Structure 1
Amino acid sequence: MTTTPRLSVLDLVPVRTGQTSADAVAASVALAQAADRLGYTRYWFAEHHNMPAVASTTPPVLAAAIAARTERIRVGSGGVMLPNHAPLVVAEQFAALEAIAPGRIDLGIGRAPGSDPVITQLLRISGPTADVDRFPDHVTDIVSLLQPDGATLRLTSGREYPIAATPAAAGAPTVWLLGSSDYSAKLAAELGLPYVFANHFSGEGLERALELYRSGYTPSERHPAPETFLTVNAVVAPTAAEAHERALPQLRQMARLRLNRPMHALETVEEALAAPADELADELIAAMRGRWIIGEPDAASARLRDLAVRHGVDEVMVVPVTGAYAAEPADASPGRVQTLELLAGALLEERATNPPVE
C-alpha cells in the first residue's frame, strides 16, 4: 500500500441558479471527461429524486452517457437504491452497460430510498420492489443474474427456469454495497462483496463500519479479500479563501436539508455570501467545514493522504461540491473541474512516481 491514494469521483449532477437540467448534465459530462483525462479511477452517479438541486435521478442512463464519452475510467452508480427497482431490471441495465464498456462498469447498490416518503411511495407503487426486508436476497439475485451463466429459478411446479440479465455476457460489472450504517457493512462482509461507507454524507460511524466489514469478511471467488474506500466532500482552489467561498453554496444546502427546510436550486457563490446570518444553519455549517476537505492544493492533498492512511484505504472518492460564481457558464462547472485538476496535480502525479508496494 502507498500513502498516496487513488482518486475517484461521486457526482450528484448539481443544478444551480440559472441552470437547466440539460446545462447540469452537460457540465457533468465535461467533468467526467476531465476525470478520465486526469487519471481518476472511477466516476459514479448517485440516485436522488425530486430534489431541485440534484439531477442524478437515473444512474444507469448517466453512466451510459459517460461511458460513451470517456476512454478508460470506470463508470457506475453510487448507488442504485435497490428497494426502488426490480432486481431483474437493475441487472439488465448494468449488463447492458457492461456490453457498452466492457470491464469498466461498477454497480453500487444502496438500501435507502433516495428521497422523501411521498416520492418513495411513488417509486415503489408496483409493490414487490418495496420489500426492503428482502434486500439481501435481491442483492444476491442481481449478482447471480449478472454472471455469464445467469441464474436458475425453480417454479412451484418443480421445473427449473433459466434467467440471464443479457443473452451472451462475456463479463460482469463489479457489485459494491453502499451504506451509512452497520447493516450494509455486515451484509457486504457476509456476501464477500466490496463495500463503501457514505462518509461524505455523515461521517458518523465510519470506524465501526469498516471494522465490522473487515473483521467479519467472508472471502468470495471474485473478491478473496475485503475491498473498500472512503468518500469525502472536497473543494480545492488556488487559495484557501476561494475554496471556502466556493464551498458555501453546498454547505448552506446541506444545512437546509438537515434542518428540514424547503430546498431549491443550489445558490451561486454570490447568493450564498449575501445571505443573512442564520444561527442554526451556521452551527451546522461550522461542523461540516471541519469534516470536508476545503482549502488550497497542498493542504487539501495532505488531509486526503492522512485520511487514507488513518483508515487503511488505497482510494478516496471525492464529491466535488465546489460552487460556481454567477458569471461562470451555465453548461460548465469550472470550480468542480478545478478541484479535480488541483487534486490530481498534487496526488495522482505523486502516486505515479511512487507506485504502491505490494
Structure 2
Amino acid sequence: MRKKIFLIITLAIIISKAIYPALADNVVVKANKQKYNEADKLMTFEGNVKVDFDNISIKSPKAFLKTGQDGKPQAATFIQGAEAIKIDEKSKSTVKANIIKVSILENKIKANGNTSSAIFENKTPTVTIKADEQEFDMDSNIITAVGNVVIDYQDIKTNSDSAKIKVDESGKPKLVNLVGSARVAQGKNIVNATNLLFNPVSNELIATGNAKSETILDDMTQVTIWSDYQQFDQTSNTLITSGRVKIVYKDYIATGPKAIFLPDAKTKKPNKILFMGRSKIQEGSRIVEADKLEMTVEPKTFTTEGNVRSQFTQVSGLKNSKPKTNNKKPSAHEDVYDFSDSKSESN
C-alpha cells in the first residue's frame, strides 16, 4: 500500500512539474493496478485508470506512460476505450476513442478509432466531430480530423474526407476547412465541392473545385448551381460564383463565366441572378446569348443586354428548314432560326 501511494505521489509530482507546467499544479493518477518497467522506462496502469490535472480528466481501462532517459515523461497512451473530459466555467469538452495518445514533447492529443468529440454549453452539445482519427494541437488550437469526418454545428452538418478546425480558447470553432468530397447541409441548402472553407464568425462559406449548390425556395422549386468557385455570405444572403457557371431553375438553363445571386430588397430572400461576361440562357426551344444577363425568380423573368443573339431550335414550318434534295436529314445546327438584337426580355 505504501509503495502504491508513493508511486501515485511521485507520478503526480513528475507530471505536474515536467509535463504540464502551464496546465496544472497537481496531477493524480489512480488505477487498480500499477507497475513500472525500468528497462523500458514504461509505467503501466490497469483497471479504472483515471488521470486528473487542472480541469481535465482522462479515463480508460488501461494506460501507459513512457519516460525518457532523463526520467521525464514523453508520452501517455490510454487504450481499450478512452475518454477525455475538460470542464470550463460555462462549457464542457469531451473526446472518446478506442485509443487516446498524449504527446508531451509535441503538446498534442491524438485519438484513434471511432473517435467522437463534442463541446457542450449548458449541457447541450453545440459542436460534435466524428472521424476515424482526430488530433488536437494545444499550441495552435487546431483540431485535425481524418477519415469519414462528420461535423454537426448548430443547424449545420458537414461530411468530408478530412478536416481542420481552428477553435478559440473556449473550444468554439473559428474556421473549418473541409477537404475531399466535402458537403455542407443547412436547412434547405446543400453545397458539395472538393474543398469547403466555413467561417462561423463571419458566417461565410467558400466552395472550390467542382462546386455544386442546391437551394429549395419557398415555393418548393429548386435552384441548382455548378461552378469552379462559390462564395456564400449568409449575413447578406448573397452568392458569388465564377468559373464555368451553370444555373438551372425550372425551365431556365443559364451559363456564363461569373454570376451573383442577390436577395430581394424587401424579403431578403434570394431572388435575382446577375451574369457577367458573355452568357447564355435557354428556355425551352429558345437560346439567348448576351453580354449581360439578369434572371429573376419572383416574378420569373429574364432580361439580356449587349450584342444579344437569339436562337430558336426545332422550329417547324420554316422554308429554310426543309430537307435537302439528297434526302439527308438536317443536323441540329441546320434546323435553327437565328436573329440578333440589342436587347431582349422574356417573361
TM range (shorter): under 0.3
Give the structure with the larger helix fraction: 1
Structure showing greater radius of gyration is: 2
Give the TM-score of the pair, scaled to structure 2.
0.20
Question: Could you say which structure has the greater relative contact order, defined with CA pairs below 8 angstroms and 6 or more residues apart?
Answer: 1
Give the structure with the larger strand fraction: 2
Give the TM-score of the pair, scaled to structure 1.
0.19
